[in-house]
Amino acid sequence: MYEGCNFETSASGAMKIHVEKDHLRLRLYACEFCDYAAEKEGTLRYHIKRKHEEQYVAENLSKNCTVFRNTQDDDTREKQKNFLRDELNRYNYFNVLTVGEMDFSFSLSLGKFLKSKHSSGTSFSLTCSSYIELDQFRTTRINKKANANMRNLSNKIDATVYTGVDATMLHVDKRLMGKEYDLIIFNFPRASTMTGVTNENANLMLNFFLSAKQKLCLSRPTGDHSDHRSAIVILMHCCIIDGVPSDQYVEWGLDSIVKKSGLRHVGSFPFDNKDFPHYQPRSRLGKAFKVDKAHFHILVPAFGNVAGVGNFVERFHVNVKYDELSSRLAIYSRHLKKFM
């Protein structure tokens, strides 16, 4: 108890928030609807999204009606775009790699679409990977589902399935040596369980971009494939508060990271659950969640000189050893056992 403070509560969490907000001045972003306060603005927006979205929108709709209406119009136009139709159907992606899978349900949906698209006889190759080692799946609640999806991918889609693949080490993974891909997809990437922007998430994205870029096939395949290109795709959350999007892509400063990686952003598509009927999104700890709104962001190599990128790429991961990768996987396994 601080001198002169009459605040009382039986909840330890509420007392912690009170002390950090009013006495230590650590939580400077106060919620206007309750006693909650956050250290970061992004965390407060997430809190309002979960707890007070309807109240917040109702109170601010009249003074922001123009912004809200314009946003609704943008949403209508955006919904007319489709990732499967306008990206995967338009461009001839023959060799596809998915990384960061949890239960392989996204890869299964994607694989069935690709099989249907190439039913006329054209060949395609799908490689699916997860950061989790195979024996670590056995200690989780998603083990049964993950193994069923892996069997279906192998037997029905003729896909290659790998476990224990680090998305930031693709270019030195022995199983991927000598292989190049037209399309590399990473869904809901996250290195930290903390809400908001963290150095871990920024570093994950930078290292993933640099590694994945080295695995892209930059040469045009033989034959008439005028619409062929190679791309990296990331699927990122986008929360809506007061009719204004709060996109992880923007909050994490990914435009800057993309440029540092020698890539450029060429478009985005809204995520539609109906396009991926087998997909169950999960957090990095395996917990299932429902997607409110998200976007596929399309990134392609930025040809030409990019200041500072060349030397950085040459130094990237040169001294990383596989025993370090094993150590990181062991730590991740302990997290999985704790939360699942």
Residue 313 pLDDT > 60: no
State the Cα–Cα distance between residues 61 and 50, nearest whole angstrom: 18
pLDDT at 66: 41
State the Cα–Cα distance between residues 153 and 113, nearest whole angstrom: 12
The answer to whether 288 and 260 have CB atoms below 8 angstroms apart is: no
The answer to whether 104 and 144 have CB atoms below 8 angstroms apart is: no
Q: How confident is the model at residue 340 (pLDDT cuts 50, 70, 90)?
A: very low
State the Cα–Cα distance between residues 151 and 129, nearest whole angstrom: 13
Q: What dihedral do alpha carbons 200, 202, 208, 211 form, nearest 10°?
A: -100
State the Cα–Cα distance between residues 294 and 249, nearest whole angstrom: 10
The full set of domains in the chain, from first to last, is: 12-63 (3.30.160.60), 83-339 (3.40.50.150)
The answer to whether 231 and 182 have CB atoms below 8 angstroms apart is: yes
Could you read off the pLDDT of 113-151 as tens digits, one per residue?
A: 998 888 776 788 999 999 999 998 888 888 999 999 999
Where is 290: in which H helix or E strand? Answer: none
Instruction: Tell me how crowded residue 183 is: count the other CB atoms within 10 A of its CB.
Output: 24
Residue 216 carries which DSSP code? B
Residue 171 pLDDT > 70: yes
Q: How confident is the model at residue 4 (pLDDT cuts 50, 70, 90)?
A: low
Q: For the whole model, what pTM was predicted?
A: 0.68
Q: How confident is the model at residue 263 (pLDDT cuts 50, 70, 90)?
A: very high
Q: Angle CA(99)–CA(103)–CA(106) in degrees, nearest 5?
A: 60
Side chain identity at residue 62, one-letter code: S
Joined together, the tokens standing for residue 288 give: 């299932």
Q: Is 47 left (phi over 0), alpha (psi -120 to 50) or beta?
A: alpha
Residue 64 pLDDT > 50: no
The answer to whether 235 and 188 have CB atoms below 8 angstroms apart is: yes
Give the Å distances, CA to CA, from 334 to 130, 190, 289.
Answer: 16, 17, 21
Residue 75 pLDDT > 80: no
pLDDT at 191: 80
Joined together, the tokens standing for residue 30 give: 């106060």
Q: What share of the chain is helix, strand, coil (3-state, %, to 5)?
A: 40, 15, 40
State the Cα–Cα distance between residues 64 and 69, nearest whole angstrom: 9
State the Cα–Cα distance between residues 35 and 181, nearest whole angstrom: 50
Residue 282 carries which DSSP code? B
What mean pLDDT, rounded, does the chain reach?
77
Burial environment of residue 315 by CB neighbours within 10 A (0 to 12, 13 to 18, 19 or more): exposed
Joined together, the tokens standing for residue 275 give: 């396009």
More confident call, 44 vs 82: 82
Q: Which residues, 6+ apart, have CB-to-CB distance to 19 below 8 Å?
A: 2
Residue-wise DSSP of 272-331: -GGG-TT---B-TTS-B---SSEEEEEEEE--S--TTHHHHHHHTTTT--HHHHHHHHHH
pLDDT at 59: 64
> Where does 158-228 have alpha helices with state H?
199-213
Residue 127 carries which DSSP code? E
Question: How many DSSP H helices and E strands does the chain contain?
Answer: 13, 10
Joined together, the tokens standing for residue 256 give: 């800057």
